Amino acid sequence: MFLLPDLSYEYDALGPYISSDIMELHHKKHHQAYVDKLNAALEGRSEFADWTVERLLSELSALPEELRTTVRNNAGGHYNHSLFWQWLSPNGGGQPGGELEQAIVARYGTFQEFVDNFTTQASGVFGSGWVWLQPNMDIITTPNQDSPLTTDGEAPLLGLDVWEHAYYLDYKNRRPEYIEAWWNIVNWDFVRERYEKSL
Ligand code: MN
């Protein structure tokens, strides 16, 4: 049984960048729905009882075909959102510092150039999807709830949800404003921790 993780901050902690209404709906309704559908899909499939969400996504092709799409969407949704909450912090924003910042600058020239590149890719996702920073410093996008564990074979360092459900209540159709606001609440401590573990 997969469970909805608690947030380490209150729903209203990320204002004015993301409202309490969005956070509550996104966590309690959207994320919960991925968890519920994943549990329902795997009910009675004891052969997968000890599989983690990471394993389900990394070894998606090993699953029976009739399970694959449901697991791709809902294990993906569960995994992506479980990380997404941790990538947000009321004390976030600024620059990452440390070896992570050095690696970003080595790849993109300046931190701002990285921000611009990530923002452009996030703005350009057609329909619903995500943009990610991978351990090799590539910026990639995925459609729907596809996880980099499936598409890239590597766990992401950082990711941004650009589904309309992530911003529409606050920003309507203005995705670029949501992305610009999001940089103010990025939890670089968590991203740095993931980078150091990936080395
Ligand atoms: Mn979402």
Q: According to the model, what pLDDT value does residue 24 have? A: 98
Same domain, 166 and 110: yes
Q: According to the model, what pLDDT value does residue 142 have? A: 98
Q: Residue 171's domain is classified under what CATH number?
A: 3.55.40.20
Q: Are strands 129-133 and 139-143 parallel, antiparallel or unpaired?
A: antiparallel
| Burial annotation 131-160 (CB, 10 A radius, 16+ → b, else e) | bbbbbeeebbbbeebbbbbbbbebbbbbbb
Q: According to the model, what pLDDT value does residue 181 have? A: 98
Same domain, 42 and 110: no
The parent domain of residue 114 ranges over 98-198
Question: Would 93 be classed as within a structural domain?
Answer: no
Per residue in 79-131, pLDDT (tens digit) is 999 999 999 999 999 999 999 999 999 999 999 999 999 999 999 999 999 99
Are 132 and 140 in contact by the 8 Å Cβ rule? The answer is: yes
Same domain, 71 and 132: no
DSSP 136-190: TS-EEEEETT--HHHHTSS--SEEEE-SGGGTHHHHTT-HHHHHHHHGGGB-HHH
C-alpha of residue 54 to centroid of ligand 1, in Å: 18
Helix 32-42, helix 65-86: angle, nearest 10: 150
C-alpha of residue 24 to centroid of ligand 1, in Å: 11
Cα separation of the two ends of the chain: 31
Q: According to the model, what pLDDT value does residue 16 have? A: 96
Question: Would 8 be classed as within a structural domain?
Answer: no
C-alpha of residue 133 to centroid of ligand 1, in Å: 17
Question: Would 12 be classed as within a structural domain?
Answer: no
Same domain, 117 and 178: yes
C-alpha of residue 130 to centroid of ligand 1, in Å: 9
- pTM confidence score: 0.98
Q: According to the model, what pLDDT value does residue 140 have? A: 98
Decide which of 34, 54, 86 is a domain's last residue: 86
Q: Residue 32's domain is classified under what CATH number?
A: 1.10.287.990
Same domain, 75 and 144: no
DSSP 96: -
Same domain, 68 and 130: no
Task: Give 48's contacts (C-beta < 8 A, 6+ positions apart).
Answer: 42, 56, 63
C-alpha of residue 164 to centroid of ligand 1, in Å: 8
Same domain, 36 and 103: no
Q: According to the model, what pLDDT value does residue 83 have? A: 98
Question: Would 64 be classed as within a structural domain?
Answer: yes
Same domain, 107 and 193: yes
At 123, list the tokens: 């703005």
Q: According to the model, what pLDDT value does residue 154 have? A: 97
C-alpha of residue 38 to centroid of ligand 1, in Å: 15
DSSP 4: P
Same domain, 123 and 192: yes
Residue numbers in the chain where pLDDT is lower than 50: none
C-alpha of residue 81 to centroid of ligand 1, in Å: 6
C-alpha of residue 151 to centroid of ligand 1, in Å: 18
At 6, list the tokens: 């608690």
Same domain, 55 and 108: no
Question: Would 2 be classed as within a structural domain?
Answer: no
C-alpha of residue 63 to centroid of ligand 1, in Å: 24
Question: Would 120 be classed as within a structural domain?
Answer: yes
